[in-house]
Structure 1
Amino acid sequence: MLNALAVEGYRSLRRVIVPLRRLNVVTGANGTGKSSLYRALRLLADASRNGAVAALAREGGLDSTLWAGPEFVRHDRPVQGTTRMGPVSLRMGFASDDYGYLMDLGLPMPSHSMFGRDPEIKREALWSGPFLRPASLLVERSNSQVRIRASSGQWEQAGQELQTFDSMLSQFADPQRAPELLLVRERMRAWRFYDHLRTDADAPARQAHLGTRTPILGPEGADLAAALQTINEIGPNGAVAEAIDQAFPGSQVAINDHAGRFEIAFHQHGLLRPLSGAELSDGTLRYLLWVAALLTPRPPELLVLNEPETSLHPDLLPALANLVVTAAKTTQVILVTHSRPFLAALDALDDLHTIELVKDRGATTIAGQGPLDEPPWKWPKR
């Protein structure tokens, strides 16, 4: 379980150290940095697949994602430009009870390459224990060089130079000398994100698809029918039926098989025939997608949800909250929402760890968190 998430220099996240528990709800007004925190966590996950630089490019490049305010903020003076003292840097990392990891990205040196605006990975570090100390470092990367702490406690070179755009998580693999690096990489690759479950008229979830066992719902929900049937067969007994009845009393969901192609049939009280996926309202379809995602028979170590209450009627929020709390029994959950009714529904079911984001002179901060309330964290020097 992650204990802390640290981000510095990303959009409005000038410097944020977020304490984490089992069920975490990130909330706040529009524009306070909730989406930025979500994106930063996705960037960390992308690093495990060597995709952080490409992900930044899709956001407009490093220049577009860096903190746009001054390097130093004086609360006794108006906001004004200052002479930069340190290097341009975007830093992200996390800590858990057993291992932690961080990445530091910066601007490249001037060159004749057409890729001269690609950010470079300046530093990476992997350590054991809940916070970074010199004695706890296991693997570290400085520019293109990687070194490993041997069993004797001495440092030795990895014997492999990395390209400036390659992460050591994805490009360096040594199960003998650095098995911890492989373990953390696989953990990060297994993190699961849901932020764009389509419910429009052409949404894949509305159509029949060839059915195969689907313990993990796809990012767009095309395999919804197969995912629900998989839960029915190998998941908690009656879990899908209970979740449907709680949201739509007296209703049932069946999965029809047409020569191997699975399709949803929604039986609603008072109707003479079931509704197909193409006939469902956006809210009903979205709730079914969340049922499939949150009742997964193969829960990840970390599940990150971005505004799952979108397009749902307030009457469905208690049922959705119950699904989230149920999922948090087997996986760590980070949920982003600005809905106060949804937050109240969650709080009525479980002891939430609420992280309320606020803005202070353009920078995102955590409401009520002082310097002594932050989890211990230290960024290494370049």
Structure 2
Amino acid sequence: MLKTLAVANYRSLLNLVIPLGQLNVITGANASGKSNLYKALRLLSETAQGGVVNALAKEGGLNSTFWAGPEKISARMRSGEVPVQGGPRQKRSRLRLGFADEDFGYSIALGLPEDGASAFSLDPEIKRECIWSGDYYRAVKNLVDRDCPMIKIRHKNSWKVVAKHTATFDSLFDHIADPANTPEVSVLKDRIRGWRFYDHFRTDTEAPARLPQLGTRTPVLHHDGRDLAAAIQTIREIGNPQALDEAISDAFPGATLEVLSHGDGRFELQLNQHGLLRPLSTAELSDGTLRYLLWAAALLTPRPPSLMVLNEPETSLHPDLLPALARLIIRAAEQTQVWVVSHATRLIAALEKAEFCHSIALEKELGQTRMAGLGMLDEPMWEWPDGGV
């Protein structure tokens, strides 16, 4: 389970360090920084999949993601005694992302090339990466250290260089794959790659979930929901079919969900509703009903990840469905760490009834995102490694 998330110099997240729990509910007004926090976590997930540089390119390049305010916001600026103003930068611009879980911590610092010799001079470079043991970074706890092109690992009481010419766009996860000598790299890579994000279920008239699809065993629903029927059937065979039936009945009293298997290997869903003389196919369901079925398939997965992130799950759902969705999310959070980014007060209120719910309310001050109510004594200990040359 992630215990701490840290982000620095990313859009409105100038320097945000927040504690995390089993079920995390991210709330806040529009433009408070919820989307930026979500995107920062997605960027972190790309480090273990070789896509962090490309992901930043899709956001408009590294320069466009940097904090746009002054390098430091003084107390006098906060009080309004002096206007918000900047000056010459004292430090190189670095985008920093990091986290700590129950065993290890990880951080990455990205910056722009120092020279313009390449045509790819706007491509971000990985300047520093570290993996350490424990909750927060200390040099004596460091296990793997990447400083620009050089990667070294702790070997007994000294350091051993394992790579001298690492490509600036490759993470250390792409270069170290030795479970015997660097088990922490393998463990963290597997954990990060297992993070699951759901933020774009398709429910339009052409959505694959509305049409019969070839089905194979599907313990993990695709992020767009294309294999919904196969995922539901997989839950029935190797998951928790009772929980599935309860989730359907909770949202649609008297309803039952069936999976039809066509002779050619295609699967199709049908929803039997109380009072109707025939079942409804997924092509006939409303966007909200179909979306709820998608959430049921995602949250009741027979293969829970270490982290599941749900971005605005209330989209297209009628308010009356939100308590049932909350109960589904709470059930899932008993087996895996869950993030929920939401605007829906009814969903938030239902989730906050769970004893292990950790509410993270974001607010903005002078353009900077902060966690409301987080005092100096509440903030987790965190220190960034030096950012490399």
TM-score range (shorter-chain normalised) is over 0.9
Cα distance in 1 for residues equivalent to 2:54 and 2:163 = 26
After TM superposition, the runs of 4+ consecutive aligned structure 1 residues lying more than 4 A away are none
Cα distance in 2 for residues equivalent to 1:74 and 1:130 = 29
Q: Is the deviation greater in 338-347 or in 215-224?
A: 338-347
| TM-score (normalizing by structure 1) | 0.98
Structure 2 match to 1:316: 321
Structure 2 match to 1:339: 344
Structure 2 match to 1:141: 146
Report the AA paired with residue 48 of structure 1.
Answer: A
Counterpart among 161, 173, 176 of residue 172 in structure 1: 176
* Unaligned 5+ runs, structure 2: 77-81
1:165, CA displacement in angstroms? 0.6
Structure 1 match to 2:308: 303
8 Å CA contact 1:232–1:239 kept in 2: the answer is no
Structure 2 match to 1:115: 120
**1:14-43 CA-partner distances (Å, limit 9, x unpaired):** 110010011111100110000110110010
Structure 1 match to 2:231: 227
Is 1:82 the counterpart of 2:87? The answer is yes
Using a 3 Å threshold, how does the CA distance of structure 1 residues 182 and 160 change in structure 2: closer, same or farther? farther
Counterpart among 158, 164, 186 of residue 162 in structure 2: 158
Structure 2 match to 1:189: 193
8 Å CA contact 1:211–1:223 kept in 2: the answer is yes
**1:131-182 CA-partner distances (Å, limit 9, x unpaired):** 11111110010000001100x2211111442111110012222233212111
Report the AA paired with residue 227 of structure 1.
Answer: A
1:273, CA displacement in angstroms? 1.0
Is 1:365 the counterpart of 2:374? The answer is no
Cα distance in 2 for residues equivalent to 1:15 and 1:286 = 35
Cα distance in 2 for residues equivalent to 1:173 and 1:237 = 38
Question: 1:131 aligns to what SS in structure 2?
Answer: coil
1:344, CA displacement in angstroms? 0.7
Question: 1:7 aligns to what SS in structure 2?
Answer: strand
Cα distance in 2 for residues equivalent to 1:160 and 1:286 = 49
Report the AA paired with residue 75 of structure 2.
Answer: H
Aligned residues: 381
Counterpart among 211, 217, 220 of residue 216 in structure 1: 220
**1:45-66 CA-partner distances (Å, limit 9, x unpaired):** 0010111000000110101111
Structure 2 match to 1:28: 28
8 Å CA contact 1:257–1:263 kept in 2: the answer is yes
Counterpart among 248, 255, 262 of residue 258 in structure 1: 262
Structure 2 match to 1:239: 243
Cα distance in 2 for residues equivalent to 1:97 and 1:251 = 42
Question: 2:216 aligns to what SS in structure 1?
Answer: coil
What root-mean-square deviation, in Å, do the aligned CA atoms of Structure 1 and Structure 2 show?
A: 1.0
Cα distance in 2 for residues equivalent to 1:219 and 1:140 = 33
Cα distance in 2 for residues equivalent to 1:79 and 1:111 = 32
8 Å CA contact 1:325–1:350 kept in 2: the answer is no
8 Å CA contact 1:264–1:277 kept in 2: the answer is yes
Q: Is the deviation greater in 314-323 or in 171-180?
A: 171-180
Structure 2 match to 1:207: 211
Question: 1:243 aligns to what SS in structure 2?
Answer: helix
* Unaligned 5+ runs, structure 1: none
Report the AA paired with residue 335 of structure 1.
Answer: V
Structure 2 match to 1:288: 293
8 Å CA contact 1:72–1:82 kept in 2: the answer is no
Cα distance in 2 for residues equivalent to 1:20 and 1:217 = 25
Q: Is the deviation greater in 230-239 or in 181-190?
A: 230-239
Report the AA paired with residue 52 of structure 1.
Answer: V
Report the AA paired with residue 371 of structure 1.
Answer: M
| TM-score (normalizing by structure 2) | 0.96
Counterpart among 96, 101, 109 of residue 104 in structure 1: 109
**1:199-251 CA-partner distances (Å, limit 9, x unpaired):** 11111111110111100000110000000111011112411111000000001
Report the AA paired with residue 324 of structure 1.
Answer: I
1:112, CA displacement in angstroms? 2.8
Using a 3 Å threshold, how does the CA distance of structure 1 residues 338 and 262 change in structure 2: closer, same or farther? same
Report the AA paired with residue 156 of structure 1.
Answer: K
Is 1:375 the counterpart of 2:377? The answer is no
Structure 2 match to 1:95: 100
Question: 2:13 aligns to what SS in structure 1?
Answer: coil
Structure 1 match to 2:79: none
Identity %: 56
Using a 3 Å threshold, how does the CA distance of structure 1 residues 350 and 201 change in structure 2: closer, same or farther? farther
Cα distance in 2 for residues equivalent to 1:108 and 1:159 = 20
8 Å CA contact 1:294–1:323 kept in 2: the answer is yes
Question: 2:38 aligns to what SS in structure 1?
Answer: helix
Question: 1:15 aligns to what SS in structure 2?
Answer: strand
8 Å CA contact 1:94–1:102 kept in 2: the answer is yes
Cα distance in 1 for residues equivalent to 2:149 and 2:210 = 48
Cα distance in 2 for residues equivalent to 1:369 and 1:225 = 43
Question: 1:18 aligns to what SS in structure 2?
Answer: strand
Structure 2 match to 1:48: 48
8 Å CA contact 2:363–2:369 kept in 1: the answer is yes
